[in-house]
Chains A and B, each alone.
Chain A
Amino acid sequence: AQTVTQSQPEMSVQEAETVTLSCTYDTSESDYYLFWYKQPPSRQMILVIRQEAYKQQNATENRFSVNFQKAAKSFSLKISDSQLGDAAMYFCAYRGDNNDMRFGAGTRLTVKP
């Protein structure tokens, strides 16, 4: 079974600085998708960024980028120029052939002004 591990329950960053959230996963599949979702206090799940495992190039969405290391099964999220609105729970998720998504336990990000 696929598992997703987020080893940082909480992270803190100064406004305008850069922070990296870690995620590792375990799978025997060769083709899969990885996601980062943001969950603000409203509890809405918002897709931040996605990565297809067959693509070597790291995905980038404005201030958000990933460092995808397939061999190491690592999928970290980098947030540049952090803003107060980035404060939220961040969940790493894996989706393989069986269509359901496996989520990590989440990392709570605090942004200090």
Chain B
Amino acid sequence: NAGVMQNPRHLVRRRGQEARLRCSPMKGHSHVYWYRQLPEEGLKFMVYLQKENIIDESGMPKERFSAEFPKEGPSILRIQQVVRGDSAAYFCASSPLPTARGGLNTQYFGPGTRLTVL
């Protein structure tokens, strides 16, 4: 069973460009979470999505950032008009339906995308 996949692993953008980060959850997982990690800090929650629905976007900046998880294909985190402060590692995690106890509340993380804004 392949793990959570993220691409690209490294992304370089100039200020004002758009960044698109992709996340393919583990097989059988329908819940996706995006986190941002600034240098020397822990991960900060951004958004939680199920297929075709944004469940919780309380951690996402109100402007320039958007996320989607379409019925088919990977989840996309889009950052428009990037600025230097957007430089960070962006992690995606996935889990199965979080409706029961057991192993279902564990989030499995992808390798992350390191975004550098020049």
- Residue among B56, B106, B108, B109 making CB contact with A100, cutoff 8 Å: B56
Interchain CA distance A37-B107 in the complex, whole Å? 10
Q: B108: which A residues are within 8 A, CB to CB?
A: 47
* Least Cβ–Cβ distance between B78 and chain A, in angstroms: 19
**Interface status of A45 (Cβ within 8 A of chain B):** yes
A44 touches B112 (CB 8 A): yes
Considering only CB atoms and an 8 Å cut-off, how many residues of chain B contact the other chain? 27
**In residues 1-34 of chain A, which contact B (Cβ within 8 Å)?**
4, 6, 33
A45 touches B109 (CB 8 A): yes
B42 touches A106 (CB 8 A): yes
A101 touches B43 (CB 8 A): yes
B91 touches A45 (CB 8 A): yes
* Least Cβ–Cβ distance between A3 and chain B, in angstroms: 11
Q: B106: which A residues are within 8 A, CB to CB?
A: 33, 35, 47, 50
**In residues 26-60 of chain A, which contact B (Cβ within 8 Å)?**
33, 35, 37, 42-47, 50, 52, 54
Q: B69: which A residues are within 8 A, CB to CB?
A: none
Q: B65: which A residues are within 8 A, CB to CB?
A: none
Interchain CA distance A6-B43 in the complex, whole Å? 13
Interchain CA distance A82-B62 in the complex, whole Å? 44
Interchain CA distance A54-B102 in the complex, whole Å? 12
**Interface status of A105 (Cβ within 8 A of chain B):** yes
Q: A42: which B residues are within 8 A, CB to CB?
A: 111
A43 touches B112 (CB 8 A): yes
**In residues 35-78 of chain B, which contact A (Cβ within 8 Å)?**
35, 40-45, 48, 55-56, 58-59
Residues on A facing B (Cβ under 8 Å)? 4, 6, 33, 35, 37, 42-47, 50, 52, 54, 91, 93, 95, 98-106
Nearest 7 A-B pairs (CB), nearest first? Answer: A45-B109, A103-B42, A100-B45, A103-B43, A105-B42, A44-B111, A33-B105
5 pairs of residues in contact across A and B, judged by CB atoms under 8 Å? A93-B43, A95-B107, A99-B48, A100-B45, A101-B107
- With A104-B42, A106-B40 already in contact, 9 other A-B pairs whose C-beta atoms are closer than 8 Å: A6-B42, A33-B105, A44-B109, A47-B109, A54-B101, A99-B31, A101-B35, A101-B107, A106-B42
